[in-house]
A and B are shown apart, each in its own frame.
Chain A
Amino acid sequence: MDFNSFIILRQEILLLAITLGLVVGEIFIPKNKKRYIVHLALFLFGIHTIVGFCNIEESSLFGGMFRTNNMIHLFKNILNVGVFVLLLQSADWIQEKVIGQNKGTEFFILMFSSLLGMYFMISSGDFLMFFIGLELSTLPVAALVALETSKRISSEAGVKFILSAGLATGVSLFGISLLYAATGSIYYNDVMTTLTSNNLTLLGSILFFSGLAFKISLVPFHFWTADVYEGAPISTASYLSVISKGAAVFILMILLFTVLKPLMHIWQTIIYVIAVATMFIGNLFALRQQNMKRFLAFSSIAQAGFILLGLISGTQLGTATIVYFVLIYIFSNLAAFGVVQAISLQTGKENRDDYNGLYRTNPNLSLVMMLALFSLAGIPPVAGFFGKFFLFAAAASKGYYFLVFLAVVNVTISLYYYLLVIRAMFIRKSEDPIPFFKSKIYMRLGLIIAVIGILVLGLYSPLYDYIFELSTIFNK
């Protein structure tokens, strides 16, 4: 390894250094000073996020196992910003609840390891690296889900997650082995050139697809989602629905658009069916949810269905709109989870009915929530509208008008349950509303960044143009 390799790998190396630094810190920081670890971790990760914005050249390492280019780099940056906002929103919770149980450092170590796995996953140049990344990104999350060991529901969610994840990755690995059997290589470039459409490759790619479908929680791999979100700490649920899903969508897109391109006509049909099923099941199940975490879980399943509309086009427009939508989705969902987190931390309440009359006591939190939900529902002028419109345009550009029609029916259904939350906050009155409270500085900062993202991303168009230009990389 020469110096240049370090430059190419700098995101990964820096994150690994931070993780290891925290391990060392855990040993040397005395017990009564443990709460400083939160500030330290936030500071280090903030620097890591900023350093990430430096430019990178297109290159590959380890004989093509690891590769990077501007698009992959951009996506790592998106994940970094997402995790940073998430950490800001979780800081108070960690200080108040987790440090006391002596698990503060573990939280950061686990989350950073998982993020490292995602880096490797989206930078992978062959299926081996991909699989290592997938495992590294999934396993720590199981521990994060079960972080609140004192709660039975949290441990239960951890077990559910690890069992379903194990099954999904196992199936995925079997799919990879079939693809290897058919093409004789695990390198993306070789597979792409030798892949032909036959039963073996078809079976292989479908099985392989299931592992990622599990992470994105597409129907029929969505059964774990609601239970795990409900049981997990809110920070973990937020991480699962935002970061984990975003990374999985990104690598799925790369693989479908490059490696599996020869099978395009087949996977387009599969995606069509899964998109319809995911949108309808996610939306219809979200209608009756009372618990905010379960509600956001089904909402995020439905959103994944919308993302598939960009995927189905298989064009540069599709790539650009997906990345743009995921970016917007990350900010919108972080804002929504942030508000749930703030309220849950202050009052322990997580049900929709508890939000009745929230606007009259906590107007700012309610407004943040409203913007986040409008963005998820796709109502202008907030960013979600632009994200959805462009996704639908990507599908329509290939003539999938009926699919777009089904999607807009789903947008209307989803509007209903988003409005239910807005109704609770703004219209309903409560005998016993959540009293006024002021969140701490980190939480406020986390929410403000998310809101700025929601407002700016849509109206500021050069950003989309930038993503569009970068997306030529995967659509040669």
Chain B
Amino acid sequence: MDILSLFVIVPVLTILALVFTKDLKQARITAMIGSLVQLGMAIHLIFSYFEERAVNKSIMLFTQDRVWFEHFNIHFATGVDGISAALLLLTSIIVLAGVFISWKIDDLPKEFFISLLVLATGVYGFFISIDLFTMFVFYEIAVIPMYLLIGIWGSGPKEYSAMKLTLMLMGASAVLLVGILGIYFNSNANGGALTFNILEISKVYIPFVAQKLFFPLTFIGFAVLGALFPFHTWSPDGHASAPTAVSMLHAGVLMKLGGYGIFRIAMFLLPEGAKEWSWFFIILSAIGVIYGAFGALKQTDLKYINAYSSVSHLGMVLFALLMLNKTAWNGAILQSLSHGFMTALFFALIGMIYGRTHTRDITKLGGLLKVIPFISVINVIAGLASLGLPGFSGFVAEMNIFVGAFQHDELFYRVATIISVSAIVVTAVYILRVLGIMLMGPINNAEFLDLPKTTWYEITGILLLLIPMIGMGVAPLWLSDMIMASIQPFIKGVLKF
């Protein structure tokens, strides 16, 4: 059994084991063991990646290929580069943290963990695939459990939010399907056989007319998941209604599928289409960056604030990807990883605060630093990381993005960059405002004087997310190396036009 297929097999085995569990205790232990194994595998993968990379210079490592549907030339083909290996690690950490955060889920615990792991399976499968068809299959597998997760265990207008999120994301995937079919039926342009394999398609020159037609379809198909303005509206509602662990996984991991897909499929396979359309989508993503930041400024519900902040931060990812140069790309991938840890940590903290105070309205909170110091301090750290303070992951990422973006000497790109950069100021404002109102000041509700202490599983969950976040900020080089090496083929393939 090769090292990558295990990323699908282990979660599936965990799901099977979960089917036979009887109550919450058994379910959470099973889910925890399964996710621990996955984390171990991801760490192991990173080390093997470095060993292998030293001797092997091909684009994808650990490639495996099994024929699935022969007549369509569909393969179960797997392989990773530095980007997907890092994202696999991110996923496994957040899944484990999510299991810890959901330690006390009381309603239908077995079904909850099963749905959570189905989602995880989809994400793992997506990141290891190098076959368009398999990727698409896993993409849909990752999206559909969200409906049940939000609908059953969510809060507030959960039926509405779940339906909105599912329909928008599945609608996007439907558009993506047309794009994928378009790529597939043009993949024989150099006289070869039709293929879904990304590496083989990248060697083919797809006719310019087709690139121009299918790039926007493929791009939008993924960008909806990356909360591109104006398709971001599922995100605030969905995140606000979802249970804590689901918000973490969704904002932390699932939304990264969007950026990754754009990079790996839309841009890598349709480079001229990307050139042709980039101006249009740069405008949209720059609006998203600004709009998300101002949206967060206006909200009073903690989850809405974080959701809008995600729209803004992921807008930066899309913005950087569209800038089509390597510094910005490096920043985009770092931002994806950094935002993954950061936002998951935020949602975990919001869940803990809500679990204690039963409100997410910041106007009703106050002085929490005095009663729950641990959660509050971590909240400050996460907040500072989010506004891009040096020493944390966010700084490295945003620095790269804007330095890269500013390298374009055309006026349009410069203006777009300047507008987007200004969002950083707004980010600082809304984060400091939230922290100030929520943590400082007098305690304005007598019930808050006696809040429960943090438990061991909450601390474990927090530390799991905090350590890599600080690690990325303090020692970004190893990660940067890994990403830079993996960007090389993109530079060769995409930037030559």
Say whether A379 faces chain B, with CB atoms less than 8 Å apart: yes
Say whether B152 faces chain A, with CB atoms less than 8 Å apart: yes
Q: How far apart sit A409 and B177, CA to CA, in the bound complex (Å)? A: 11
Q: Which of B71, B166, B174, B182 contacts A401 (CB 8 A)?
A: B182
Say whether A393 faces chain B, with CB atoms less than 8 Å apart: yes
User: Given known contacts A380-B137, A401-B181, is B159 in contact with A427 (CB within 8 Å)?
Assistant: yes
* A422 pairs with B182, CB closer than 8 A: no
**Chain A stretch 381-396: residues in CB contact (< 8 A) with chain B:** 381, 385-386, 389-390, 392-393, 396
Q: How far apart sit A422 and B152, CA to CA, in the bound complex (Å)? A: 11
A468 CB contacts on chain B under 8 angstroms: 71
Which of B140-148, B255-263, B286-294, B316-324 binds A? B140-148
Q: How far apart sit A461 and B70, CA to CA, in the bound complex (Å)? A: 8
Chain A 40-66, CB within 8 Å of chain B: the 1/0 string?
000000000000000000000000000
Chain A nearest CB, measured from B23 CB (Å):
15
* B178 pairs with A404, CB closer than 8 A: yes
Say whether A208 faces chain B, with CB atoms less than 8 Å apart: no
Q: Which of A320, A397, A465 contacts B185 (CB 8 A)?
A: A397
Chain A count of residues within 8 A CB distance of the other chain: 31
Query: Of all chain A residues, which has the CB nearest B68?
Result: A461
* B contacts, CB < 8 Å to A: 68-72, 74, 133, 137-138, 140-141, 144, 147-148, 151-152, 158-159, 162-163, 166-167, 170-171, 174-175, 177-178, 181-182, 184-185, 213
Say whether A408 faces chain B, with CB atoms less than 8 Å apart: yes
* B72 pairs with A393, CB closer than 8 A: yes
Chain A nearest CB, measured from B169 CB (Å):
10
Which of A129-137, A166-174, A410-418, A442-450 binds B? A410-418
**Given A416-B167, A423-B151, 12 more pairs with CB closer than 8 A:** A379-B170, A380-B137, A385-B137, A389-B133, A405-B175, A408-B174, A422-B147, A423-B163, A427-B158, A427-B159, A461-B68, A465-B71
A416 CB contacts on chain B under 8 angstroms: 163, 167
* A contacts, CB < 8 Å to B: 320, 374, 379-381, 385-386, 389-390, 392-393, 396-397, 401, 404-405, 408-409, 411-412, 415-416, 419, 422-423, 426-427, 461, 464-465, 468
B144 CB contacts on chain A under 8 angstroms: 374, 379
Q: How far apart sit A422 and B72, CA to CA, in the bound complex (Å)? A: 32
Q: How far apart sit A130 and B182, CA to CA, in the bound complex (Å)? A: 39
Chain B nearest CB, measured from A145 CB (Å):
35
Q: Secondary structure of the A side of the interface?
A: helix
User: Given known contacts A379-B144, A427-B151, A465-B69, is B170 in contact with A415 (CB within 8 Å)?
Assistant: yes
* B185 pairs with A419, CB closer than 8 A: no
B140 CB contacts on chain A under 8 angstroms: 379-380, 385
In the complex, 8 of the A-B residue pairs with CB atoms within 8 angstroms, ordered by the A residue number, are A380-B137, A390-B72, A396-B182, A404-B178, A423-B151, A423-B159, A427-B148, A465-B70
* A389 pairs with B166, CB closer than 8 A: no
Q: Which of B70, B74, B137, B166 contacts A415 (CB 8 A)?
A: B166
User: Given known contacts A380-B137, A390-B72, A419-B163, is B174 in contact with A412 (CB within 8 Å)?
Assistant: yes
Chain B nearest CB, measured from A412 CB (Å):
4
A381 CB contacts on chain B under 8 angstroms: 137, 141
Chain B nearest CB, measured from A411 CB (Å):
5
* A419 pairs with B174, CB closer than 8 A: no
A380 CB contacts on chain B under 8 angstroms: 137-138, 140-141
* B177 pairs with A392, CB closer than 8 A: yes
Q: How far apart sit A419 and B162, CA to CA, in the bound complex (Å)? A: 10
* B69 pairs with A408, CB closer than 8 A: no
Return the 7 tightest CB-CB contacts between A and B, nearest first.
Answer: A408-B174, A427-B151, A396-B181, A412-B171, A380-B137, A461-B69, A468-B71
A427 CB contacts on chain B under 8 angstroms: 148, 151-152, 158-159, 162
Q: How far apart sit A368 and B344, CA to CA, in the bound complex (Å)? A: 34
* B184 pairs with A393, CB closer than 8 A: yes
A392 CB contacts on chain B under 8 angstroms: 177, 181
Chain A nearest CB, measured from B263 CB (Å):
23
A379 CB contacts on chain B under 8 angstroms: 140, 144, 170
* A426 pairs with B152, CB closer than 8 A: yes
Question: Which of A380, A465, A468 has its CB near the most chain B CB atoms (within 10 A)?
Answer: A380
Query: Of all chain B residues, which has the CB nearest A374?
Result: B144
Chain A nearest CB, measured from B167 CB (Å):
6
Chain B nearest CB, measured from A364 CB (Å):
12
Question: Which of B152, B174, B213 has its CB near the most chain A CB atoms (within 10 A)?
Answer: B174
* A419 pairs with B181, CB closer than 8 A: no
Query: Of all chain B residues, which has the CB nearest A467?
Result: B71
B167 CB contacts on chain A under 8 angstroms: 412, 415-416, 419
Q: How far apart sit A392 and B133, CA to CA, in the bound complex (Å)? A: 13
Chain B nearest CB, measured from A210 CB (Å):
31
Q: How far apart sit A426 and B111, CA to CA, in the bound complex (Å)? A: 11
Query: Of all chain B residues, which has the CB nearest A399?
Result: B185
A415 CB contacts on chain B under 8 angstroms: 166-167, 170
Chain B nearest CB, measured from A355 CB (Å):
14
Q: How far apart sit A380 and B170, CA to CA, in the bound complex (Å)? A: 12
* A426 pairs with B151, CB closer than 8 A: yes
Chain A nearest CB, measured from B150 CB (Å):
9
A404 CB contacts on chain B under 8 angstroms: 177-178, 181
Q: How far apart sit A461 and B137, CA to CA, in the bound complex (Å)? A: 15
B141 CB contacts on chain A under 8 angstroms: 380-381
* A412 pairs with B185, CB closer than 8 A: no
Chain B nearest CB, measured from A381 CB (Å):
6
Query: Of all chain B residues, which has the CB nearest A468?
Result: B71
B138 CB contacts on chain A under 8 angstroms: 380
Q: How far apart sit A468 and B167, CA to CA, in the bound complex (Å)? A: 33
